[in-house]
Amino acid sequence: MNNPFIELGIRHDIVNAISELGFENPTPIQEQSIPVLLTGSNDFVGLAQTGTGKTAAFGLPLLELLDFEENHPQALVLCPTRELCLQIAKDINNYAKKMNNVHVVAVYGGASISDQLRQIRRGVQVVVATPGRMLDIINRNAIDFSHIKYVVLDEADEMLNMGFQEDIDSILSTTPDEKKTWLFSATMPAEVRRIAKKYMDNPFELTMGTKNTGNQNIEHEYYVVRARDKYAAFKRIVDNNPEIFGIVFCRTKIETQEIAEALIKDGYNADSLHGDLSQQQRDKVMKRYRERSLQLLIATDVAARGIDVNNVTHVINYSLPDEIENYTHRSGRTARAGKSGVSISIVNSKELGKIRQIERVIGKKFIKAEIPSGFDVCEKQLFALVHKVHNVEVNEEQIEQYIPRIMDEFADMSKEDVIKRFASLEFNRFLEYYQNAPDLNAPADDFRSREGAQGDRFNRDGMRAEYTRLFINLGSVDEFNRGDLLGYICNNAKITGRNVGKIDVKGVYSFFEVVNADVDNVMNNFKGVDFKGRPVRIEISGEGVSSSNRGGGGRREGGYQKRESGYRGDRREGGERREKSFAGGGNSGGGFRDFSGKRREDRPERRKRF
Ligand code: AMP
């Protein structure tokens, strides 16, 4: 029987290479686009999710169409992120493994430009690039695009979201008019429609599923909780899914960092991925996640773009994205390569409208789920443990020598007693933590939940005032104490000290509260302000992680792993900050034992309001 890729028109050496990658049958997008693209005579618009096999859908036809006896750029693939750029270049190289003289270069920022220039000089036929670095190289006159026959715009909606419109215009203006342009996008907002119109001539359009529709293998769930219970609810969802391998999306870098720090502190196997980390730190985190030595990756939309990790079981929207299109991108990180997955959103009652909006855009209904009870979680964990024990691989050779002693230890117990004890080892921890755990589902008529960083307290004049908590990238390393920082803020923001609330000076950053009426003054007046040559950055702090929600089941493996990230200084600061700054909202009571056997002081879910 013929290989289905051969029937689509792909030659044997490529088919042999992709067979080794496990590609037996083309995915729907490959099946429909490959025959069209192989003609080489059409512009093309493909509306398809990430994870559907897009790379091969354009990569295989490129390998068929280009002339690899010639050593000049003939195809340019533009994509939004460095991760995706590297992935595409690697994929095309893999498809071409059995071909001769195929040269693919990955051109992206944050890495040595001279290496990339050297590869270009040696001769390449396929350039895979992120727009910024590509433009840089074009501006150095270091590449000749006069022989470009095909331009692929991959994840076009993402590139536009990230503000690459002008760069794309400039890059494309250096390519010949006769080239063919193939555009792939997960969603089709008006901006993408516009660039399709601008760069393409009567393109062949292919829509997989309905427009903007997400991957059909994804189940969308939402949980309604009070804003203050969000972190506890989130942990309960995680605890209720013992085998979770997930990506958790936050809205800001600060929130991402805070949630990751809180989770690590609570014994979960988590780390963060956001734009304040260096490329090297991000690579390390991604490596650990890919290798599955991390169970939860806490990420911002931008940092998680282009992540192609298979078998992600859950995407959790800790905060809903501002742009609905981003919801599709987020959820598309699960259910890749034909697998299924769950996209979870944790919302408060004010955000239900947004869920309905997303439903309309993706054309799929969300399932309203209930935060499991403490009892449900304990049961889930118990059986996960039982399952694990049942399936564990026994190293007969090594364990043999200890068996007589172990048998001796248990000589006075029945088989049932021994099993009970093993199961209790882990189970007790959850039982203890979750006994008397409250219902975290928001009552249907609850409209009282408050959002964001805003709080309602008394200001320095003893008047009731609403404050917003702001982040500033200056701290004690810049030789600020609270008084200095207050003066510095008031001088620059041109506000009175009476309108500034609590100030928390940390190492490389600080937090301060300001009455809501002055938030715009602070944000606007700090624009363009430098401190010793460094731009001062002020952001509205995320919702924070209330100490009322701290603690949790946690993961034995993760909590005490040595962390590799070089972000330690900040992290420690963050942890310490949370302990202090949320002390007012904390709860008292028992709490679960941490892994060292010590009792934690906070009982996370019995709540005291301030
Ligand atoms: P992509 O959408 O190109 O990022 O592909 C998503 C994942 O599906 C990648 O891990 C690919 O290796 C895999 N993949 C792509 N095409 C096929 C295929 N025909 N059969 C099996 N796996 C595939």
Domain check: are 26 and 170 in the same one? yes
Domain check: are 22 and 76 in the same one? yes
> What integer pLDDT is reported at residue 488 of this predicted model?
92
The ranges of the chain with pLDDT < 70 are: 1, 209-216, 306, 337-338, 444-465, 542-610
Domain check: are 312 and 384 in the same one? no
Torsion, Cα 338 342 343 344, to 10 degrees, reads: 180
CATH code, 294: 3.40.50.300
Domain check: are 352 and 379 in the same one? no
> What integer pLDDT is reported at residue 600 of this predicted model?
31
Q: 3-state DSSP: the chain helix, strand, coil percent, rounded to 5?
A: 45, 15, 40
pLDDT digits (tens, 9 = 90+) for 272-319: 998 888 888 888 899 999 999 999 999 998 888 767 788 899 999 999
Say if 516 falls within a structural domain.
yes
- Contacts for 296 with CB less than 8 Å, ≥ 6 apart: 238, 244, 246, 247, 248, 263, 268, 269, 270, 271
pLDDT digits (tens, 9 = 90+) for 446-496: 433 333 344 444 444 334 457 788 889 898 878 888 888 888 999 899 988
Say if 392 falls within a structural domain.
yes
Query: Is the separation of the CB atoms in 263 and 234 below 8 Å?
Result: no
Per this entry, what is the length of the chain?
Answer: 610
**Total domains in the fold of the chain:** 4
Q: What φ, ψ does residue 94 adopt, rounded to 5°? A: -65, -40
Domain check: are 41 and 181 in the same one? yes
**Span from the CA of 18 to the centroid of ligand 1 (angstroms):** 10
- Contacts for 343 with CB less than 8 Å, ≥ 6 apart: 214, 218, 219, 220, 221, 314, 315, 316, 317, 330, 331, 334
Which residues constitute the domain of residue 381?
Answer: 375-433
Q: Which residue of 90, 308, 309 sits with most ligand 1 atoms within 8 Å of its CB, as the best mutation to test the pocket?
A: 308
How many contiguous H segments (helices) and E segments (strands) does the chain have? 24, 21
Say if 194 falls within a structural domain.
yes
State the SS3 of 424-464.
Answer: HHHHHHHHHHHCCCCCCECCCCCCCCCCCCEEEEECCCCCE
Query: Ligand 1 atom closest to Cα of 25?
Result: 19
Domain check: are 149 and 67 in the same one? yes
CATH code, 485: 3.30.70.330
Domain check: are 390 and 292 in the same one? no
Query: Ligand 1 atom closest to Cα of 51?
Result: 2
Say if 273 falls within a structural domain.
yes
> What integer pLDDT is reported at residue 195 of this predicted model?
84
> What integer pLDDT is reported at residue 465 of this predicted model?
58
Q: What is the spatial distance between Cα 20 and Cα 28, in angstroms, rounded to a whole number? A: 20
Say if 557 falls within a structural domain.
no
**Span from the CA of 123 to the centroid of ligand 1 (angstroms):** 28
Query: Ligand 1 atom closest to Cα of 52?
Result: 2
Domain check: are 352 and 480 in the same one? no
Domain check: are 383 and 492 in the same one? no
Closest Cα to atom 20, ligand 1: which residue? 23
Query: Ligand 1 atom closest to Cα of 337?
Result: 8
pTM, two decimal places: 0.51
State the SS3 of 43-94.
Answer: CEEEECCCCCCHHHHHHHHHHHHCCCCCCCCCEEEECCCHHHHHHHHHHHHH
Domain check: are 25 and 165 in the same one? yes
Which residues line ligand 1 at a C-beta cut-off of 6 Å?
22-23, 26-27, 30, 50-56, 308, 310, 336-337
Domain check: are 142 and 90 in the same one? yes
Query: Is the separation of the CB atoms in 593 and 587 below 8 Å?
Result: no
Say if 387 falls within a structural domain.
yes
Say if 581 falls within a structural domain.
no
Domain check: are 336 and 485 in the same one? no
